[in-house]
Amino acid sequence: MFTVKNQSELTAENEALVVGLFEDDKDNPIVTEIDTALNGAISEMIKEGEIKTAYKNVSKVHTLGNYVVKRVYFVGLGKKEQLTFSKLRDAFGKTAKTLQKDRLVKVAMAFDTFLAEEGHQYDTAQALAEGTDLATYEVVDYKNKSNQVEKKLSEIVVLTESGSEEVELAMQVGTAYAKGTNTARSLVNMPANILTPTELANQAKEIADTYGFEYSVLEKEDMEELGMGAFLAVNQGSVERPKMIVLKYKGKDDWEDVIGLVGKGITYDTGGYSLKPRDGMVGMKTDMGGAATVLGAMEVIGQLRPEKNVLCVIPSTDNMVSGNAFKPDDVITAMSGKTIEVLNTDAEGRLVLADAITYAKQLGADQLVDVATLTGGVLVALGDQVTGAITNNEELYEEVVHASYETGELVWLLPSYDHFKEKIRKSDVADINNSPGRLGHAIFGGLFIGEFVEDTPWVHLDIAGTSTTSAATDLGPKGATGAMVRTLATLVDRLSE
């Protein structure tokens, strides 16, 4: 989508020129050039407020044949000192949506007008590519289509007097981050009758083949042999065969110092015999959001190739009701040997993750991050824009937090006091129970997984609130968000340094 050229190469082939406008910016040579060509009309419109410099205001001006392009889009950026990477990315996202809505195909971008100060070329270029590609993502639907070809924004000519090599490199990074995020979005948006565990395994294999990852999958018979009783219990009521999907990226010669990314892959969750209400069941195709996140992160990793060994493990099944389904009061035995009293079959994600965590450790993971749409309680606690976290290792958690700061994906640490752990370990018939109660259940869900992590450095990320959005944003449509893809990819990059 992006081509870098010298500032002087603006031609009439471009349907529009996009220009950044800071408040109180008296030295913008491109604005002066356009203003002169239009006999002072631009400065007058800025003065009258028809062209706004306030943050994220997009103003369109037709040049009426007086300038090399037919129209100019002025993007308000506010005060230079207040412009962060995330705010700039959002501004580029809103601009891309505006251009797409206006059915433009090829536009030019006056890149240097978006620089808050010298030396910001890399961050600005990454924000441009990332914001544009995220904002123009479209949800795949299954409606009958007309034969009319829709115009879509397909080329942005980046005009700059800055070094083109640094700008191009940064845009490659931004594009990689957006591509991985959009992959996760597409997976989460897919209906459960199409994205079965088998199809999720096929999607993972496609990513592995594209980027040269090692790929393997455990079938039901393999899981039985390994004693994955927690995972298999959740699958009991289903006609779909379970899959334990594994990808390995070797960023180093030796398979050591491995970060394990484990994603919950429940392709549909009825709640089992602890059946969800009708309204609560709608949208449960998204319960494999954790799996989508780690696959999206693997796609970013595959493009950027950090010097870090990465293991991806995804336990995938649906959670259904049948004569064979597991029930409250059942006692099951996990791969680790721990016995679990089932008090709630709708607390199934932690059960599949228990065996996935144990398996990831067996495969050599020295550090672990699990990602899951685990609990409704995290929405009550933190809302729909903050991911909840649990950890047993402050150092690893700090790395996750710093990665989240870089990507603008908010994370908040939930407490893990001993009295929470004691409630998980309270059972008359088993080592632990899977659902001590509703009060604090976002914490219980994470700490249940922690029972299987033991001493391995670990962070749990509950994305039940952040994995989808009910309204469009500057960075995409309503539906799946691809939450934490960029944070995980950034974390791996930080750990490779």
CATH number at residue 374: 3.40.630.10
Q: DSSP letter at 473?
A: B
Whether 344 and 408 map to the same domain: the answer is yes
Q: Is the pLDDT of residue 483 over 70?
A: yes
Name 367's bridge partners.
259
Same domain, 287 and 424: yes
Using CB atoms within 10 Å of the CB of residue 343, give its burial: 0 to 12 exposed, 13 to 18 middle, 19+ buried: middle
Spell out the residues 6+ positions from residue 85 whose beta carbon is closer than 8 angstroms to its own: 123, 126, 127, 406, 408
Given 79, 276, 327, 338, the catalytic residue: 276
Taking only the tens place, the pLDDT of each residue in 381-419 is 999 999 999 999 999 999 999 999 999 999 999 999 999
At residue 144 the predicted structure's pLDDT band, cuts being 50, 70 and 90, is: confident
Residue 264 labelled as part of a binding site = yes
* Residue-averaged pLDDT of the chain: 96
360 found inside a domain:
yes
**68: pLDDT strictly greater than 90:** yes
161 assigned to some structural domain: no
pLDDT tens by residue, 333-387: 999 999 999 999 999 999 999 999 999 999 999 999 999 999 999 999 999 999 9
pLDDT digits (tens, 9 = 90+) for 213-237: 999 999 999 999 999 999 999 999 9
- To the query of whether residue 276 is one of the catalytic residues in this protein, the response is yes
Average pLDDT value for residue range 258-263: 98
257 annotated to a ligand binding site: no
pLDDT number for residue 1: 87
How does DSSP assign 355-422, residue by residue? HHHHHHHHTT-SEEEEEE---THHHHHHTTSEEEEEES-HHHHHHHHHHHHHHT-EEEEPP--HHHHH
Residues 83 and 215 in one domain: no
Instruction: Provide the number of structural domains found in the chain.
Output: 2
Q: Can you tell me the distance from the alpha carbon of 453 to that of 350, in angstroms, rounded to the nearest whole number?
A: 12
Residue 422 counted as domain residue: yes
Task: pLDDT band for 332, please (50, 70, 90 cuts).
Answer: very high
Residues 347 and 475 in one domain: yes
Amino acid type, 264: K
Residue 146, pLDDT above cutoff 80: no
Instruction: List, in sequence order, every residue forming a beta bridge with 309; answer none if it has no partner.
Output: 258
What mean pLDDT comes out for the span 317-339?
98
What's the pLDDT at 24? 81
* CATH at residue 7: 3.40.220.10
Last residue of a domain, one of 103, 136, 169: 136
Residues 226 and 89 in one domain: no
Domain match, 384 and 278 both: yes
Taking only the tens place, the pLDDT of each residue in 201-215 is: 999 999 999 999 999
Query: Which residues, 6+ apart, have CB-to-CB distance to 480 below 8 Å?
Result: 184, 185, 186, 187, 188, 189, 286, 289, 292, 467, 468
Give yes or no for residue 171 having a pLDDT over 90. yes
Report the b/e string of 259-297 with b at 16+ CB within 10 A. Answer: bbbbbbbbbbbbbbbbeeeeeeeeebbbbbbbbbbbbbb
Which of 136, 153, 169 marks a domain boundary? 136
Q: How many CB atoms neighbour CB 144 within 10 A?
A: 4
Whether 356 maps to a domain, the answer reads yes
Same domain, yes or no: 204 and 282: yes
Position 112 in a domain: yes
Options 56, 94, 350, 486, the catalytic residue: 350
pLDDT computed for residue 147 by the predictor: 63
Indicate whether 421 and 485 sit together in one domain.
yes
Nearest to 237, CA basis, from 384, 309, 342: 342
What distance in Å separates the CA atoms of residue 244 and residue 84, rounded to the nearest whole number? Answer: 40
**Does 346 appear as a known binding residue?**
yes
Asked if residue 440 and residue 296 are part of one domain, the reply reads: yes
Rounded to two decimals, what is the model's pTM?
0.96
Give just the sign of the alpha carbon dihedral 280, 285, 288, 290: negative
User: Is 357 exposed, middle or buried, given 0-12, 13-18 or 19+ CB atoms closer than 10 A?
Assistant: buried
Tell me whether residue 148 is in a domain.
Answer: no
Residues 122 and 197 in one domain: no
In a domain, 266, yes or no: yes
108 with 190, same domain: the answer is: no
Determine the average pLDDT of the residues in 37-55. 94
Cβ atoms of residues 375 and 435 within 8 Å: no
Please, what's the largest Cα pairwise distance for the chain? 85
Question: Considering 84, 118, 136, which residue would you say is the last residue of a domain?
Answer: 136
158 assigned to some structural domain:
no
The tokens for 420 are 């929470």
Highest averaged pLDDT of the listed ranges 64-68, 164-168, 456-460: 456-460
Are 315 and 225 in a shared domain? yes
The domain of 73 spans 2-136
Confidence at 184, pLDDT banded by 50, 70, 90: very high
